[in-house]
Every structure is written in C-alpha cells, then in structure tokens.
Amino acid sequence: MPTITAQIPTPDGQADAFAAFPEGGPHPAVLLYPDAFGPRPVLWKMARELADNGYYVLVPNVFYLHRPAPVFDLPEHITAEDRPALFGEIMPLVQAHTPERTLLDAEAFLGFLGDQPEVRPGSVAVIGYCMGAVLAMRTATAHPGKVAAVAGFHPGALVTDAPDSPHRQIPSLTAQVHLGLAENDMTPEAITEISQAFDAAGVGYSCEIYPGTVHGFTMADTDAFDPAGSQRHWERLLALLGSTLT
C-alpha cells in the first residue's frame, strides 16, 4: 500500500503529515485527527487499515509548531501510571491549540487533500479521537459544503460553557455524525444538549455509549484499549463512510 509523508504549508509554518491510500484511484478522502498523544505508529497503522477499505487517509501533526511527529517521547505501551507525567508535557500544547489555529490548519489540510491526484473530487469525511474529535467537529462545522461525514471516538470536550464550544457551532453542520463514547466520556446532560443541537440542525446522527469501555478504547498502544470497543468503532466508522462517501 502506498504511503507518503508530506509537508503541508499553513499560515504558521509547515505541518508534517502521513498519508495512506490504495493503489490506483482516485479515492474518497478522510482527514484523521489523532488523540492528544499525537501522530505515532498506532495512528499510522489505523490509517493503513482505513486505506485498505478504499480511502485516502491523511493524518496531520497538529502539534507541528512544537516538533515533527512523533511529537512526544512515548513508551511503547502507555500505562495509567505513565499518563500524569505525559500529560504534564502534553496539556500546554493542547491548550495552545486554539479554535482559530484549528480552523486555519483545517483549511490547509483540506486544501492539501483537494490537490492530490489520488483523491476523488467532492466531499470528504473528518474523524477524530479524543481531542481530535473536537478538531473534527470544528472542521466539519466550518466547512459544511465540503465535509459529508464526521465521527468522533472517546471525544474530548464537545459541550462546554464557552461561547465557542463545539456544540454551539452545530447549526452550521450538514454532515452525518457518529459519536462513539466510552462510558464516562460525557455526562447525560451533555449528551442531551448535543443531541438537541443535532436535532435542531436537522442532521442525521448517532451518539452511542460503547459498553464496558474507558476513555481511549480505540488506542492499541494504551491500557485503555478495548478489543470489542475498537471493533465496534470500525464497524460504525466504515458504515458511516460507506453511506456518505459514495
């Protein structure tokens, strides 16, 4: 399977990125935002698996201003004991990744996809994990004419009190949505609030709690990984893509 690394020009510099895609083409495109640990081998493997199903998959390094991927010095397997020290390093970068920067970068990433000869013209899907789910939602609401599907798995803070909370942008959304939640990812009140926002926008969506899972259940390089939850995520994701990127 072809894979490439790329440097994508942005208003702030050059974002390094990884892409996987099948032979031939052109193929429908998927922009895949990583979790807070950033792009790394497990994400690149997931991109290859998705490309095996017929998609051109771009995994950008959203922390490119810090250093190229892999951004953090991560252990081969991330345990619960590793997390406090790691998040001491990671959280300042997460907090510096403002909504304004997200949208500038998203425009660059979508522009890159549109320029690739292996990418089929037309709508794309945007998916994300953990903080990446927030980036995916912001990208989808900012580009309603371009993004046909958005999926977020064990998402970060989609519902907050902030004026620019992702759920407050949903009136602009036209994409089909799937949210795959671990059991404690969102409160019942937050689920109700975001569901009401989807209903008001008139978009098709599913918001599902994956039983027995904890935050991070798709990531095979962490203690949070749950094989059943990961399999369910692939089933839901491929069904969403198959129904929207035809």
- SS3 sequence of 110-157: HHHHHHCCCECCCCEEEEEECHHHHHHHHHHHHCCCCEEEEEEECCCC
DSSP letter assigned to residue 14: E
Q: How many helices (H) and strands (E) does the chain have?
A: 6, 8
Q: What is the mean pLDDT of the chain?
A: 97
pLDDT confidence of residue 65:
95
pLDDT confidence of residue 182:
98
pLDDT confidence of residue 44:
98
Number of domains in the chain: 1
Report mean pLDDT in 10-residue bins for the chain, 246 residues: 96 97 95 97 98 98 96 95 93 93 97 97 97 98 97 97 96 97 96 97 97 97 98 98 93
Other CB atoms within a 10 A radius of the CB of residue 54 amount to 16
Tokens representing 15 are 């974002």
Tokens representing 133 are 């789910």
Tokens representing 162 are 């902030």
pLDDT confidence of residue 222:
98
pLDDT confidence of residue 1:
84
CB distance 17 to 6 below 8 Å: yes
- State pLDDT tens for residues 118-133: 999 999 999 999 999 9
pLDDT confidence of residue 246:
74
pTM of the shown model: 0.97
**CATH code assigned at 19:** 3.40.50.1820
Q: Which structural domain range is residue 238 located in?
A: 3-244
